Amino acid sequence: MLLSRSVRLFCACFSVTALAQFVPLQDASLTTLNAAHDPNITISYKVPKGACKTAFDTQKQFSGWVNIPVEGRSTSLFFWFIEAREPTSTLTIWLNGGTGGSSMSGFWQENGPCEVVEKDKDHLEVKAREWGWDRASNMLYIDLPSVGFSYTTPITNGSYDSYNATTIFPPEPVPKWSSPWAFMNGTFSSPYPLNSSANTTATARLVWHLLQTFLSTFPQYNTPSNSSTGISLFAKGTTAPLAALLASYFHSQNPSTSSTTLSTTLPIKITSLGLLSPCGLDPLSQAQSYVTMALNNTFHLPLLTQDQTTPIMSAYHRRRGCSDLLLSCRHPSSSTNSETLLVCLQAWECIYGLTIPYQQHTSRSLYDISSPSFDPLPNQTYLTFLNSPKFLSAIGSPINFTDLPPPLPALGDDPLVAIKELLSQGVRIALLSGDRDYLCNWYSGQSTSLSIAGSFSRYSAFHTTGYAPLLINKTYTGGSTRQLFNLSFTRVYDAGHFPSHSQPETTFEIFSRIILGSSISTGEKVNLASFATKGTPEADKTGPELLATNVPNARCYIRKVADTCDDESVRAVLRGEGVVINGVWYNSVGDWQLPGQRSDGEAAGEAAPTSTIMTGIFTTSLSAAKPTSSSGGFSSWDNPARGLLMVSVLAGLLLL
């Protein structure tokens, strides 16, 4: 099916017939330039008109690919840049990835400038997101190699099997056991991955080349060398270890620290490393946290019995268990990349296999203990939207979008070592975890922050530093935060694995305070060289009132059948029964309802009211603000005339 050149998405319609499609060659309207630091590297980009509705029409956007020759082929890394809502010199890089997630999930589900909403049957639209992080910073979203819209040549036509979450080459007819809803034709990245894609340093270098190329092509978005905000790197979940290693690599390549760096390269000054729902940084703490979260969580919710948790620590400590495998991964005896990769894969499969008792004995989500195992949130309608002909044409993509994992980088390097180096260099290190997340829970995040601090005598007081309330506006406390100098850990109340979705206002305020180098508790400007929070010794606020009481109904997304559909729905999808509306399977048309009318917890798709303030950050002081609410949800934006609200981000940024 040839793609339409129309890029208006606000009345875009989607139907089952649009599922099977091969993508034509790359859009000729892409502008292609050679990289300043390496003429063998090119950047191809365009303005993705109509693809994303921002808060203000004046915000510039660029999406495209940086094309890098590797091993006689080309790997193309996808990026999407969005200007901040108000002028600023700050630049934030966002990474999803981990074991394979695309950064487009963060873009569309969590903190991007826009989101996909349902307006009617087979009718999706995009609207500006109130608490998008472009509210405080220029944003650059990057897909890691062979993930999402990134690809390695030769791109190849194939079939996508949603039930088994695999691509098949060459394309095949729909098998008898499946249906066209779960088995779709498309164009994908090469089925033959690069050897170097399994190497952390090689991955870091590819992303470094992307940044060099992007910043030299658009120098107006490079941060001044003397800026205290600099470039921030934020990542989530299992991407946290890789993000730490990337930041360390960037620093090692700066002209002042690398004698081999070419004179044409630009320094990449990472000033903040923000890790949301971090996993994999401290595996022992992570393993122990699964027991703590199951038996002694702050919601008084017994998830497992003591006997059911016994296999967790046994699997970690036994011979050839997680601990031994991880040690072999980080200190390989073999010099071959393939053998190291295999050991690392086994190590990380073992670590995340520690959640099996939870999955066996509960019917709750790994990502949110208040939700069923097939959690409908965040909304995944964007998967259908990103594969629509109009959207693919708008960004000029030569491939379909998939969220399938590539080979996992061999994280042989210890990310805690990288984080400690960054901390000693003055980089702001911030960890934040939602207290309803089981997979990357807040006990693990808290223990990891203590492990980081424990290596420095300067941070020896971190474990006794008090937790201060996280003041989000005049009426709401969004969590507890411990901050000593440039290191912090924050527990976000009533949030799951996707804190930007669960608590958008809270997470945005934390983000803005991190990149500005202010007090995460209050937003006040402080001297981080001597700053420490004061408060309770533990972030142990308890109470069932924090736990969401409305359990949402599951939704079966046909592009993620295995992850979102219960057994009964899977069988019906594979038999071709029921109907598909906006990428979601229903038993009948009568089961479909607009958001706001159904019980899956999703907000209605109306545009934000004109009275909503789409700019600004909040700041106060512990003595001035007296929040009266600290339970679930987030309150509306207060009138600037009634509080200590900086309506303009510009006012805060230009003072730095």
Handedness of CA 635, 619, 467, 516 (dihedral sign): positive
What's the Cα-to-Cα distance from 287 to each of 207, 320, 323, 353, 355, rounded to whole Å? 30, 16, 10, 10, 9
The CATH number of whichever domain residue 76 belongs to comes to 3.40.50
Query: Has residue 245 been placed in a domain?
Result: yes
Contact 261, 504 (CB under 8 A): no
Query: Has residue 329 been placed in a domain?
Result: yes
The DSSP code for 2 is P
* Spans in the chain with pLDDT lower than 50: 1-20, 410, 546, 548, 604-611, 626-656
pLDDT score at 598: 61
pLDDT score at 74: 92
316 and 349, same structural domain?
yes
247 and 321, same structural domain?
no
182 and 95, same structural domain?
yes
Write out the residue range of the structural domain in which residue 229 sits: 16-259+267-272+384-395
DSSP string covering 403-419: ----PPPB--S-HHHHH
The DSSP code for 240 is H
Query: Has residue 29 been placed in a domain?
Result: yes
DSSP string covering 34-75: E-SS-TT-EEEEE--TTT---SSTT--EEEEEEEEEETTEEE
Query: Has residue 647 been placed in a domain?
Result: no
User: What are the backbone dihedrals phi and psi of residue 244, each rounded to the nearest 5 degrees, phi first?
Assistant: -60, -40
Single-letter amino acid, residue 549? T
pLDDT score at 633: 33
218 and 327, same structural domain?
no
Rounded Cα distance, 136 and 173, in Å: 48
What are 434's two structure tokens?
């939602």
Last residue of a domain, one of 374, 395, 416: 395
Rounded Cα distance, 545 and 632, in Å: 7
Query: Has residue 82 been placed in a domain?
Result: yes
With b for 16 or more beta-carbon neighbours within 10 A and e for fewer, the 474-512 pattern comes to bbbbbbbbbbbbbbbbbbbbbbbbbbbbbbbbbbbbbbb
pLDDT score at 258: 53
With b for 16 or more beta-carbon neighbours within 10 A and e for fewer, the 172-194 pattern comes to eebeeebbebbbbbbbbbbeeeb
308 and 255, same structural domain?
no
pLDDT score at 412: 62
- Whose tokens are 């995340």? That residue is 352
pLDDT score at 95: 96
184 and 79, same structural domain?
yes
Query: Has residue 166 been placed in a domain?
Result: yes
146 and 226, same structural domain?
yes
Number of domains in the chain: 2
Over the stretch 60-118, which tens digit does the pLDDT of each residue have?
999 999 999 998 899 999 999 999 999 999 999 999 976 558 999 999 999 999 999 99
Q: How far is CA 129 from the centre of its chain?
A: 16
pLDDT score at 263: 66
Rounded Cα distance, 396 and 387, in Å: 12
Query: Has residue 283 been placed in a domain?
Result: no
334 and 237, same structural domain?
no
345 and 212, same structural domain?
no
The DSSP code for 272 is E
Query: Has residue 125 been placed in a domain?
Result: yes
Rounded Cα distance, 247 and 242, in Å: 9
